Structure 1
Amino acid sequence: MSASDAKQKKSRRQRRKFTREFKDGAVKLVLAEGKGIPEVARDLDLTESALRTWVEQAKQARGEGKPGALLQDEREELARLRAENRQLRMERELLKKGGGLLREGDDVKFTFIHAQKAHFPIAFMCEQLEVSRSGYYAWASRPESARKTNDRELAEVVADVHEESRRRYGSPRVFRELRARGYRVSRKRVARLMRKKGLRARARRRFVKTTDSAHGHPVAPNVLERDFSPEQPNSKWAGDITYVWTAEGWLYLAVVLDLFSRKVVGWAMSDTIDRQLVLSALGMALLNRPAPDLYHSDRGSQYASEDYRGLLKQKGITCSMSRKGNCWDNAVVESFFSSLKMELVYERSFQTHEEAKRALFEYIEAWYNRRRRHSALGYVSPEEYERNASTRSAAA
């Protein structure tokens, strides 16, 4: 990278802007989820100093910034609870990975213990799986063939990649991730190792869409006409609303996707499904990006409202809407919602809106945009796809 390129990159980072919702989401990953500042900063492509400032500001606003010390008995109780919590987490994670092994033979259990010894204490796994440590160590000391050794080592990497995806990846994406990391392996071999270890992607469920199109607002024609592959970023955007159930009631999520990279460039969450929800999502998208030529949505009352159409007109954006009852006209956003529900929502039971907001923020900003390998993009993430396109454009 030349000095001018580095200067331009630094300049772009300095001009990056963040909404209050984004800052709150990042802070909650640290304070509510217990993640470290370096980890969250890396996942969200932030500087540690900026995130640390946001966290300190949030603490001060809540009156937690003042120094103080816990009493000795309080510290001991906290340490005890943390130890119990770690034990429970280990038991829960081990149950997810090897809960079906209790009925298997010792060799199968020993193979599992060997594959997971980097993640769990051997004594702990032996106790949970009801095998002796001496039996495991005797099994582990036996010589094995080179092919079996290679399979075992590769299976550990396959399991790690699957776990890093939070068990969202099937063999095609695991295979692509391994190739990206430099492993020379076939897709069939990855599929075989995953079957042997009982690893699979989460099953899809039927996606149900609800749109309030029974309104008196003007409806725009379908200008997009299912052209989901623009040649340039910030040319065509698409948006929609979905819902997530919590014990406190429905939480609604509006998103804006750039159809070039499938990246979520704007989002908003609320317990009210109104025009302000979609206005906030579009506002976030316009904060760091130029206005697109075209914006596509369904015929919902929120998108047909006078305020929303007025904002599009003010920004010089052509309005496009799906035909009545035709979800395929907005298939890219529908596909994103399907992945979101399958990979996150259907696997969790949210007690509060705040808990759901934290999970959705992390999924969109830390996972989907920056890490998830997208099949329509050649199995790279939306963020990487845009970087590669920018590099090609600069070299042309």
Structure 2
Amino acid sequence: MIDREHDLPVSRQAEVLNLARSTAYYKPRPVSAEDLALMRRLDELHLDFPFAGARMLRSLLRREGVSVGRRHVATLMKRMGIAAIYRRPNTSKPAPGHKIYPYLLRGVKVEAADHVWAMDISYIPMRRGFVYLAAVVDVASRRVLAHRVSITMETAFCIEVLEEAMVHHGKPMIFNTDQGSQFTSHAFTSLLTAAGISISMDGKGAWRDNVFVERFWRSIKYEEVYLKAYDSVPEARSSISKYITFYNSGRPHSSLDGRTPDEAYFGDRQIALAA
């Protein structure tokens, strides 16, 4: 938001935007190489043991010879946007002005394209640094309908992914997310409600979080991300986009009886139109 090349002084820009001057001049500290390596390993462990919290992850790392404290692991997990997944009462409270919607998919059998879409965000390691990947997935066909790579987890980039999916594929009956602040924001949910889409949200930290996008995260990380070492954000965007094209159109899925997500998604839509 602050344009350091603008004729208007930075201090005046901060005043107009109602920002503290210290915020305007603040430059984030780069993440150390040691923490980047830890985050990469935490991401791998989280995929294999999604129920593991900071204490267990710390213990797993120590068994590998990595000396790290629980609090530091918790800090890195927060930065990565990951949390232990397990069944527990939903005692979380929404952020001010954010509405939490009920989970609508309990006992629902999803068998047709555009019945349910799901969206999630995942941490993506690079050679130096990391980015976040947001994706909208059609639950029945596993097809990735839209995605974006970003250096932050801000709401705006999540809205861009949602808008792209809706522009190219219409709309689902139900849209499922977790209770992340990006998804509970009025700016995000208002797009869904205005389109007449029912909103479903997993409980915070619930066992079912990520269940509809989990297979995609595992596939892209083990078949693409962990095999690469992206040198830049543009390279990450390009390589991830190529993989998703392959994932949708060239990769057969056993859960789809050997069909690709494209074949399952567009085949189901043709059946629905014919009916």
Normalised TM-score (structure 1):
0.45
Letter aligned with residue 106 of structure 2: E
Structure 2 residue 135 is the aligned partner of structure 1 residue 218: no
Give the aligned partner of residue 363 of structure 1. Answer: 243
Correspondence for 2:251 among 357, 362, 372: 372
In structure 2, the CA distance between the partners of 1:247 and 1:375, relative to structure 1 (3 Å rule), is same
Give the aligned partner of residue 282 of structure 1. Answer: 162
Q: Deviations over 1:50-102 (max 9, x none)?
A: xxxxxxxxxxxxxxxxxxxxxxxxxxxxxxxxxxxxxxxxxxxxxxxxxxxxx
Give the aligned partner of residue 312 of structure 1. Answer: 192
Q: Deviations over 1:223-278 (max 9, x none)?
A: 12264x52332121000000112244221111001112110111111111110121
Rounded to whole Å, the distance in 2 between the matches of 1:239 and 1:226 is: 20
Contact 2:230 2:236 in 1 (8 A): yes
SS at match of 2:48: coil
Rounded to whole Å, the distance in 2 between the matches of 1:218 and 1:389 is: 33
Stretches of structure 1 lacking an aligned partner (at least 5 in a row):
1-203
Rounded to whole Å, the distance in 2 between the matches of 1:377 and 1:253 is: 24
Instruction: For residue 391 of structure 1, report the CA deviation from its aligned partner.
Output: 5.4
In structure 2, the CA distance between the partners of 1:347 and 1:238, relative to structure 1 (3 Å rule), is same
Stretches of structure 2 lacking an aligned partner (at least 5 in a row):
1-45, 51-79, 84-91
The correspondence of residues 186-335 of structure 1 with structure 2, limited to 5 A, is 206=48, 210=81, 215-216=95-96, 217-225=98-106, 227=108, 229-335=109-215
Residue identity (%): 32
Normalised TM-score (structure 2):
0.63
Contact 1:226 1:329 in 2 (8 A): no
Rounded to whole Å, the distance in 2 between the matches of 1:342 and 1:215 is: 34
In structure 2, the CA distance between the partners of 1:394 and 1:237, relative to structure 1 (3 Å rule), is closer
Contact 2:118 2:137 in 1 (8 A): yes
Alignment RMSD, CA only?
2.4
Q: Deviations over 1:16-52 (max 9, x none)?
A: xxxxxxxxxxxxxxxxxxxxxxxxxxxxxxxxxxxxx
Contact 1:205 1:342 in 2 (8 A): no
Instruction: For residue 388 of structure 1, report the CA deviation from its aligned partner.
Output: 3.5
Correspondence for 2:234 among 354, 361, 366: 354
Q: Deviations over 1:319-340 (max 9, x none)?
A: 1111121242431201211111
Instruction: For residue 215 of structure 1, report the CA deviation from its aligned partner.
Output: 3.4
Q: Deviations over 1:295-321 (max 9, x none)?
A: 000110100111001111111111111
Structure showing greater radius of gyration is: 1
Contact 1:299 1:321 in 2 (8 A): yes
SS at match of 1:331: coil
Letter aligned with residue 223 of structure 1: L
Give the aligned partner of residue 225 of structure 2. Answer: 345
SS at match of 2:135: strand
Give the aligned partner of residue 15 of structure 2. Answer: none
SS at match of 1:256: strand
Contact 1:211 1:300 in 2 (8 A): no
Q: Figure out how many residues of one structure are paired with residues of the other and give that number.
A: 191
Contact 2:114 2:172 in 1 (8 A): yes
In structure 2, the CA distance between the partners of 1:248 and 1:277, relative to structure 1 (3 Å rule), is farther
Rounded to whole Å, the distance in 2 between the matches of 1:333 and 1:369 is: 14
Rounded to whole Å, the distance in 2 between the matches of 1:299 and 1:225 is: 16
Displaced runs of 4 or more, over 4 A: 211-214, 390-396
